[in-house]
């Protein structure tokens, strides 16, 4: 990413901070998968281990703050902002806030990513800690052209992972063997550790509703339904999500009904996922085909996605945030039968435009039997 790209990111976050009446923004990131991206978004640094912070004043240069004992963990030359190694990052940030006379410090990651001991140190300082997750996510929601290039590369890698799994699919193998093929490809393609891969499986042509780790012992049977949730970030650090069901045998009647609903959902998403629609509007439109067929929806219908795996806004009931052109949204209605015994779950990553939603994959919504190959 260029210097101009980072300056643009800093400027958008600063504008949001000024609007909120803040003196500075503290962005927390940790090794926990999916929560490292905000630090990389502002600094270029990829967290290898532990955690880090980016401190972005409304007036002044940004600083990335590392834990002192992690000085040799990660390639610190990747960071494009000033660096500090502190024995106690929370105390260093507290002292910086006091020295600059800051009264209001916006914190991204206050609920999940901020280390407890650093929170305690900051609480003792003069600056009020202001939750800033939503504002930060909205500031970065519309992607630049450079970011969209990174998103498309992530999508190319993720989609290829599906074809790798499908090509390796064979009755008698294990779920873990198939997942291993995707992970091997993802690592070679530059994802590093940025994969969050799960599986929904079940017998009789229907998957159970619970996400879980792939089984490494039980052989796959002909009528097993396999839904690999492939969530990855490519070399540029932008997350995407994609999945399609695989069943060598006969899908259940419930699965076929949910598949019909997915076809209607897809057209509803194309029509409503346009600039000016709200996340609530999209949720209502895409959930209707499932509810009409008697399915309930588990998990979340969708969410904004970027350098953090799940960003605000979520696509759901009552979320009246307006979508903007160049937002990237992951959609994955989790269609669960009324008895909560089976489900169907497909993921797609969409681009919001002025005219409507554009899926970033052209792989059809269907159940694959393992005999197909990429065109």
Q: Please, which contacts does 143-148 make with residues 24 or more away whose CB atoms are closer than 8 Å? A: 143/238, 143/306, 143/326, 143/327, 143/328, 144/5, 144/8, 144/326, 146/1, 146/2, 146/5, 147/5, 147/236, 147/238, 147/306, 148/326, 148/328, 148/351
Chain center to CA of 363: 20
Q: Which residues of 324-335 are buried (b: 16+ CB within 10 A; e: fewer)?
A: eebbbbbbbbbb
Distance from C-alpha of 41 to C-alpha of 238, rounded to nearest angstrom: 9
Distance from C-alpha of 212 to C-alpha of 231, rounded to nearest angstrom: 14
Strand stretches in 203-238, DSSP E: 225-233
Domains 3-139 and 145-359 agree in fold: no
pLDDT over threshold 90, residue 373? no
Residue 289, class by beta-carbon neighbours within 10 Å (0-12 exposed, 13-18 middle, 19+ buried)? buried
pLDDT value of residue 375: 62
pLDDT in tens, 69-79: 989 999 999 99
Residues 6+ apart with CB under 8 A from 172: 219, 220
pLDDT in tens, 18-47: 999 999 999 999 988 888 999 999 999 999
Domain ranges of the chain: 3-139, 145-359
**Mean pLDDT of all residues in 126-154:** 97
First to last CA, the chain: 33
Query: What is the average pLDDT score of the chain?
Result: 95
| Correct CATH for 3-139 of 3.40.50.300, 3.10.105.10, 3.40.350.10, 3.30.1300.10 | 3.40.350.10
pLDDT in tens, 293-330: 999 998 889 999 999 999 999 999 999 999 999 999 99
Whether 38 contacts 308, CB under 8 Å: yes
Distance from C-alpha of 29 to C-alpha of 24, rounded to nearest angstrom: 17
pLDDT value of residue 230: 84
* Neighbour count for residue 68 (Cβ, 10 Å): 13
Question: Omega into 226 within 30° of 0, i.e. cis?
Answer: no
Distance from C-alpha of 209 to C-alpha of 252, rounded to nearest angstrom: 14
User: Among 162, 359, 160, 126, which Cα is nearest to 262's?
Assistant: 359
Does domain 145-359 fall under CATH 3.90.230.10? My reply is yes
**Mean pLDDT of all residues in 52-66:** 97
Distance from C-alpha of 49 to C-alpha of 34, rounded to nearest angstrom: 13
pLDDT value of residue 132: 97
Strands 128-131 and 198-202: unpaired
* pLDDT more than 70, % of the chain: 99
Q: What is the pTM of this model?
A: 0.93
- Count CA atoms closer than 13 A to 257's CA, side-chain side: 17
Whether 85 contacts 58, CB under 8 Å: no
Distance from C-alpha of 69 to C-alpha of 13, rounded to nearest angstrom: 29
pLDDT in tens, 237-272: 999 999 999 999 999 999 999 999 999 999 999 999
């Amino acid at each position: 990413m260029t210097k101009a790209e980072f300056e643009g990111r800093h400027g958008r976050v600063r504008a949001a901070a000024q609007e909120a009446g803040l003196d500075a923004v503290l962005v927390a990131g940790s090794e926990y998968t999916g929560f490292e991206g905000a630090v990389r978004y502002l600094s270029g640094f990829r967290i290898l281990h532990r955690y880090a912070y980016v401190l972005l004043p409304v007036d002044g240069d940004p600083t990335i703050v590392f834990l002192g004992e992690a000085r040799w963990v990660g390639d610190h030359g990747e960071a494009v902002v000033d660096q500090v190694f502190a024995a106690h990052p929370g105390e260093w940030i507290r002292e910086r806030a006091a020295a600059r006379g800051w009264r209001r410090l916006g914190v991204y990651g206050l609920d999940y990513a901020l280390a407890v001991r650093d929170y305690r140190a900051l609480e003792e300082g003069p600056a009020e800690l202001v939750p800033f997750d939503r504002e930060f996510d909205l500031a970065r929601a519309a992607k630049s052209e450079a970011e969209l290039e990174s998103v498309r590369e992530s999508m190319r890698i993720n989609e290829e992972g599906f074809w790798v799994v499908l090509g390796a699919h064979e009755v008698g193998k294990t779920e873990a063997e198939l997942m291993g093929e995707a992970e091997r490809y993802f690592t070679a393609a530059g994802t590093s550790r940025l994969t969050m891969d799960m599986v929904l499986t079940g017998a009789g042509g229907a998957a159970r509703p619970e996400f879980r780790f792939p089984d490494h012992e039980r052989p796959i049977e002909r009528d097993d339904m396999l839904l690999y949730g492939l969530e990855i970030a490519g070399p540029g650090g932008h997350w995407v999500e994609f999945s399609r069901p695989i069943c060598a045998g006969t899908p259940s009647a419930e699965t076929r009904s949910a598949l019909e609903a997915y076809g209607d959902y897809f057209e509803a998403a194309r029509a409503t996922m346009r600039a000016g629609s709200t996340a609530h509007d999209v949720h209502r439109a895409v959930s209707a085909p499932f509810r009409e067929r008697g399915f309930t929806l588990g998990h979340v219908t969708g969410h904004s996605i970027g350098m953090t795996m799940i960003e605000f806004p979520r696509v759901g009931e009552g979320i009246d945030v307006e979508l903007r052109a160049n937002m990237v949204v992951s959609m994955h209605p989790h269609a669960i039968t009324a008895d909560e015994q089976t489900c169907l779950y497909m993921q797609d990553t969409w681009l919001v435009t002025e005219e409507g939603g554009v899926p970033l994959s052209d792989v059809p919504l269907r159940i694959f039997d393992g005999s197909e190959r990429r065109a």
